[in-house]
Chain A
């Protein structure tokens, strides 16, 4: 029963990632794609959690925090590039 639930959760998260991938490819504007990539990152965090429960290991728990940090930094740099056209500014006016 528990195994079935874990598999169901993994499948549902995979479907969610696939639907977000459709938005990445098809998104009319650039912010749509950035938000879709952020959603994919968060779904991957959940998938890693589900997989580490499935394999009953604690070795992947750092990966969860790592993907969260990387998705945060990536989304901030993308949004800064969209808004200003430059990622790291030389001098703030």
Chain B
């Protein structure tokens, strides 16, 4: 039987970018509104899962040649680095600070070091979720 997935693949090409945009929005909204690194990472993993559903493992390994375990380690290192950086500057572990800077396009923006910690959470959630799903998916059936 010839398999034809043209509808789900075309829809996936559009919808995955909408989901990724929503994930980035909900990640940056996390400081003042509902959202944050955890749900943003889960949504990004959801977009990746949709891509893995519409295409197959070999194609996706060619498109995204990333080992997700390394992403987990990178996220944990980044979250730890914000704590270590506070120690190096002479404050207690995981002390966070914020400042208002004039960015190029955005105007006056609040830049918090909690964002760096949240990027660590984001990368860790993506890495753990995709590692679990792909470890199950690669199993023999």
A91 pairs with B35, CB closer than 8 A = no
Does any Cβ of B come within 8 Å of A92's Cβ?
A: yes
> What number of B residues sit within 8 Å (CB to CB) of A?
28
Which one of A3-11, A22-30, A37-45, A59-67 contacts B?
Answer: A59-67
Cα of A70 to Cα of B43 in the assembled complex, Å: 9
> What number of A residues sit within 8 Å (CB to CB) of B?
20
Cα of A93 to Cα of B59 in the assembled complex, Å: 12
Is chain B's interface secondary structure helix, strand, loop, or mixed overall?
helix
Does any Cβ of B come within 8 Å of A76's Cβ?
A: yes
B53 pairs with A66, CB closer than 8 A = no
A73 pairs with B22, CB closer than 8 A = no
Considering the complex, give the chain A residue whose CB is closest to the CB of B15: A72
Does any Cβ of B come within 8 Å of A88's Cβ?
A: yes
CB-CB nearest 5 A-B residue pairs: A88-B137, A89-B56, A92-B56, A91-B58, A90-B57
